[in-house]
Amino acid sequence: MNNLICVNCETQLHPSRMGLILVLHADFGPSTVWKADELRCPGCGTRIISTVTLTPLAEYWQQKQFESVMATVRKVPHNVVHCYENPRGNTEPLSSSTPQQEETKPDGGSDA
């Protein structure tokens, strides 16, 4: 596994949940299924999901294998993490590492 580091805490992430199933969703529905683990920063609590294999368990174009794997996924919903092509829920943009430029009002003033 790669060394995954929390940018905020400069600390290596540690495994918190092992043996998860990650289902990637495209705009047409589930597309790829992977084995995955959840890692957590011991400092700030940031959590990430990381795949643990180089190849997926199944992809949508492998019809029989994909259907078989998805049947297993439905039996263990507590171990399944879904990843959608488009963000769901919190859609606030991440703060940029570059400072925002100050906006200038039409009268020459600024918002700062």
pLDDT in tens, 22-68: 999 998 999 999 999 999 999 999 999 999 888 999 999 999 999 99
> What tokens does 102 get?
């100050």
For position 85, what pLDDT does the model report? 81
Phi-psi region of 43 (alpha: psi -120 to 50; beta: other; left: phi over 0): alpha
CA distance 97 to 44: 19
Alpha helices (H) along the chain: 63-75
Res. 7 pLDDT band, cuts 50 70 90? very high
pTM: 0.70
pLDDT digits (tens, 9 = 90+) for 95-105: 444 444 444 44
pLDDT level of residue 13 (50, 70, 90 thresholds): very high
